[in-house]
Amino acid sequence: VAATGLDRVTSPLASAEIIAVGSELLGTVRIDTNSLFITGRLAALGIQVKGKAVVGDDRTRLRAFFIAALERSDLVVLTGGLGPTADDVTREVVADALDLALVEDAAITARIEDRFARRGLRMPDVNRRQAMVPAGAVALPNPNGTAPGLLITDEGRGKVVVLLPGPPRELQPMFGLLCDHGVIAQRAGAERLHTVSLFTTQRSESHVEEIAQPLYGPWAEEDPPIETTILASPGQIELHLTLRSRDSAAAQRRLESARTVLANALGDAVFSTDGRPLHRVVADMLRERAMTIAAAESCTGGLLMTRLTDLPGSSAYVAGGVVAYSNVLKTALLGVDARLIDAHGAVSEPVAAAMVDGLRARTSADVNVSITGIAGPAGGTPGKPVGTVVIGALVQGKPLSLRTHLFPGDREMVRFQATQTALDVVRRLLF
Amino acid sequence: VAATGLDRVTSPLASAEIIAVGSELLGTVRIDTNSLFITGRLAALGIQVKGKAVVGDDRTRLRAFFIAALERSDLVVLTGGLGPTADDVTREVVADALDLALVEDAAITARIEDRFARRGLRMPDVNRRQAMVPAGAVALPNPNGTAPGLLITDEGRGKVVVLLPGPPRELQPMFGLLCDHGVIAQRAGAERLHTVSLFTTQRSESHVEEIAQPLYGPWAEEDPPIETTILASPGQIELHLTLRSRDSAAAQRRLESARTVLANALGDAVFSTDGRPLHRVVADMLRERAMTIAAAESCTGGLLMTRLTDLPGSSAYVAGGVVAYSNVLKTALLGVDARLIDAHGAVSEPVAAAMVDGLRARTSADVNVSITGIAGPAGGTPGKPVGTVVIGALVQGKPLSLRTHLFPGDREMVRFQATQTALDVVRRLLF
């Protein structure tokens, strides 16, 4: 902690506010997501984000938001508005609000000139604005862009102000350093936020709540309390447990034991206790077993294979498959007998079974999955309403799994739940 | 405009701020998106959102945010914190900040009791909190939940405060009514925001800027000015033109003529002048021509077909296709000669050509597309770095299109750009 220039200040940073600057963030298209990353890094250090705001490139309003945030909170992080043009006002507004002069930092000018020179260009004069820093501010080098970040410590009040460029690939490594070894790490309190999670599928939120609430309810009364949040989305219910404590080892032990209690109660509905999404869990199981997977998709149109191949290295376990969207292709690509489709309809257990059989014959993959259903909004009938999806799964050495599901929601929700359920069927068969 | 109780106030609402209330919106998982909907509705009425904020269930901070917002802006919209429990503080904080007493509205109590009664339940006593409203506030009925919205007009200052429940399916119809016929519609100025857009692909942001800026630059100096925003993402550059005006017909004419000028200058890089995404544009072209499409995907793993089948009614034009992720499946499902793969590598123009040929032979679709590439992060070589993608396209009656691309960015960006480029190749061939 030596040589930080902060020796006089001892109170830890407890509260923070985040201000995203940029008129483009006040429209109907873009949304500030940097604050999620910043919040996560601060939470791990026990620093709570108490408020966040978005302001346009508007000096008066930004000044008002900034002064109010600094009044209320120990740490204020501003993102965006550090570019070279006249509507990039963050540097000037912060300097003015803190009554600091803006001075050119020759080292920053040199770095920016060098960045341009490496591409054989002369630095445009306008970029000199990016080297103007409030007196006493520390420049945070930006390996991925021209705008340096700035760190200002208000020693009298023990407050910290951080200015970061808006692009996530510039902001994230810069803020990460401050939280790993930099001033924010040094000024964080001894209390840390600890967290564990459990992800489940194939159960409703109320069903999970019914089992889990009697268990986690009393933990909220303990000292320090374990707080539990349930996040429900179609096809996935997540339980997040958090605990603030100065004793990391004890906190971790308590959370892990709490997680075990919940995992035992929820049984095999739990697919992940380490934050991995379901397609990643299945991918890891396949990789460990040196097995390959193939899919024959109709209503999901390739979404299952897209999810499985989202992950780097997926060629180790994804063979590929077929999108048999039309009935003609169910026959041409998978050898499904057209008379079977005529007799039972494309969304039926016999057709799903024939799809997965035809797929296995063609791919020789260890795991073969078929999905056929009605994603909507059109195509439903009283007997087979929108949301009806038949899933077949063949895992080497096990009997065929074949089941008809009815998923609620719109087209996107039905398609996602169909892939989620197919993945969960494979997970259970591989277990 | 009679009987609104607003006769004394004549200045139109010009500026707005939005405050989302709820500690769950200050974590790392959930994000406020209600503000995008609210911003869109207000923008259409010429009311500009000048700032937005997220605050936890924290009376002191909410009070500070609210008072500052009301000071600066004509309209303040608060979302969330209207539930029945003790941590739902919005009603109380707003009443207190405006120095209004909270009084029980018997009509609201009756509505909530009725809502419970219809499900055969007695209203829990805690729900009575939801009937406590600041004196003089107008209740906004909520057909989809128990929490009514509240409308408060500060006649002295001509300001309007709206409180809305957080769930989008409750908030949206309630706020929609206010903007269609309610107080916000009545109090909006005669000036409206008009907007048009152009989407392009296969050009860099700087290339689009170079062509477009000399044209739109002078429009910003006209009265009223046309403002142009460029939104760049991998595979898509968007130009958004907006104009504030009291004369809707004239504004629309000016914007449409501006759009035509830009569209002519940018030529066939423009794929959409009506907000449709590229996969929708291609889908509509296929539908109009009664043609079908099939795809043979390797590195994109089904993403192209997933995008095409995202749209309702896609069975009219999507036949399906093959995800030939492994080389074995390129041979087994598409008949690609294994010696061809050995000789040229899976990511090569001869293999892409063989994939699209094999696909056409099996699908009889009118349009056949193949994609083979290296999405990364591993698998690159000096000769074929990560981002190398070969795209083949065969459209009935036209020669084979075959080209090797190099896309920048990470795995997700490479995969998206590959599908975007494949769609654009098809668009140009169908044109």
Of A294, A306, A313, the CB nearest to B378: A313
Of B36, B325, B411, the CB nearest to A319: B325
pLDDT tens for B144-153 read 888 899 999 9
**pLDDT for the residue B297:** 98
**pLDDT for the residue A5:** 45
**pLDDT for the residue A2:** 36
Per-residue pLDDT for A125 more than 90? no
Per-residue confidence at A87, pLDDT binned at 50, 70, 90? confident
For A333, nearest residue in chain B (alpha carbons) = B362
DSSP class of B392: E
Indicate yes or no: CB of A26 within 8 angstroms of CB of B49: yes
Per-residue confidence at B106, pLDDT binned at 50, 70, 90? very high
CA dihedral sign of residues B297, B302, B308, B313: positive
pLDDT tens for B127-147 read 888 899 999 999 999 988 888
Query: What residues of chain A, 219 to 258, have a C-beta less than 8 Å from chain B?
Result: 229, 231, 240
Indicate yes or no: CB of A24 within 8 angstroms of CB of B325: no
Per-residue pLDDT for A9 more than 80? no
For A321, nearest residue in chain B (alpha carbons) = B323
Per-residue confidence at A7, pLDDT binned at 50, 70, 90? very low
**Mean pLDDT of the residues in chain A:** 93
CA proximity to B329, closest of B364, B355, B311: B355
Give the distance from residue A2's alpha carbon to the nearest chain B alpha carbon, in angstroms.
Answer: 32
CB contacts, 8 Å: A310 with chain B: 301, 411-412
For A412, nearest residue in chain B (alpha carbons) = B310
DSSP class of B9: -
| Helix (H), strand (E) counts: chain B | 14, 17
Per-residue confidence at A10, pLDDT binned at 50, 70, 90? low
CA proximity to A418, closest of A278, A271, A251: A278
Mean pLDDT of the region B366-383? 96
Of B27, B298, B321, the CB nearest to A323: B321
Per-residue pLDDT for B371 more than 90? yes
Mean pLDDT of the region A89-93? 95
Cα A153 from chain centroid? Answer: 31
Q: Establish if B64 touches chain A: CB-CB under 8 angstroms.
A: yes
Of A301, A313, A320, the CB nearest to B309: A301
Enter the tokens of residue A245. 């404590």
Per-residue confidence at B275, pLDDT binned at 50, 70, 90? very high
The residue among B15, B37, B304, B309 with the most chain A CBs within 10 A of its CB, best to mutate, is B309
CB contacts, 8 Å: B314 with chain A: 301, 325
State what percent of residues in chain B have pLDDT above 70: 98
pLDDT tens for B23-71 read 889 988 789 999 999 999 999 899 999 999 999 989 999 999 999 999 9
Q: Establish if B321 touches chain A: CB-CB under 8 angstroms.
A: yes
Indicate yes or no: CB of B332 within 8 angstroms of CB of A363: yes
Indicate yes or no: CB of A310 within 8 angstroms of CB of B412: yes
Of B53, B319, B326, the CB nearest to A325: B319
**pLDDT for the residue B386:** 96
Per-residue pLDDT for A80 more than 90? yes
A92 contacts: CB under 8 Å, gap ≥ 6: A59, A102, A132
Query: Cα(B334)–Cα(B348) distance, rounded to whole angstroms?
Result: 16
**pLDDT for the residue B10:** 62
**pLDDT for the residue B295:** 98
A427 contacts: CB under 8 Å, gap ≥ 6: A271, A278, A281, A282, A285
Is the Cβ–Cβ distance between B386 and B417 less than 8 Å? no
DSSP class of B87: T
Indicate yes or no: CB of B315 within 8 angstroms of CB of A326: yes
Mean pLDDT of the region A209-235? 89
**Mean pLDDT of the residues in chain B:** 93
Mean pLDDT of the region A415-427? 97
Per-residue pLDDT for B406 more than 60? yes
Give B161's strand partners: B76, B152
* Beta strands at B75-79 and B15-21: parallel, antiparallel or unpaired: parallel
Enter the tokens of residue B399. 């020669």
The DSSP string of A329-383 is HHHHHH---HHHHHHH-SSSHHHHHHHHHHHHHHH--SEEEEEEE--SSS---SS
Per-residue pLDDT for B3 more than 60? no
Give B297's strand partners: B323, B371
Enter the tokens of residue B393. 């396209």
pLDDT tens for B229-250 read 888 888 899 999 999 899 999 9
Is the Cβ–Cβ distance between A93 and A62 less than 8 Å? yes
**pLDDT for the residue A336:** 98
Query: Cα(B65)–Cα(B17) distance, rounded to whole angstroms?
Result: 10
Indicate yes or no: CB of A229 within 8 angstroms of CB of B412: no
Indicate yes or no: CB of B304 within 8 angstroms of CB of A301: no
Tokens 């209320």 sit at which residue?
Answer: A72
CB contacts, 8 Å: B377 with chain A: 312
Tokens 């991925």 sit at which residue?
Answer: A144
| Single-letter amino acid code for the residue at B84 | P
Helix, strand or coil, per DSSP, at residue B406:
strand
Enter the tokens of residue A419. 């892939």
Give the distance from residue A272's alpha carbon to the nearest chain B alpha carbon, in angstroms.
Answer: 17
Mean pLDDT of the region A53-81? 96
**pLDDT for the residue B1:** 31
| Helix (H), strand (E) counts: chain A | 14, 17
Give the distance from residue B429's alpha carbon to the nearest chain A alpha carbon, in angstroms.
Answer: 23
Mean pLDDT of the region A387-412? 95
pLDDT tens for B78-87 read 999 998 878 8
CA proximity to B136, closest of B157, B146, B147, B151: B151
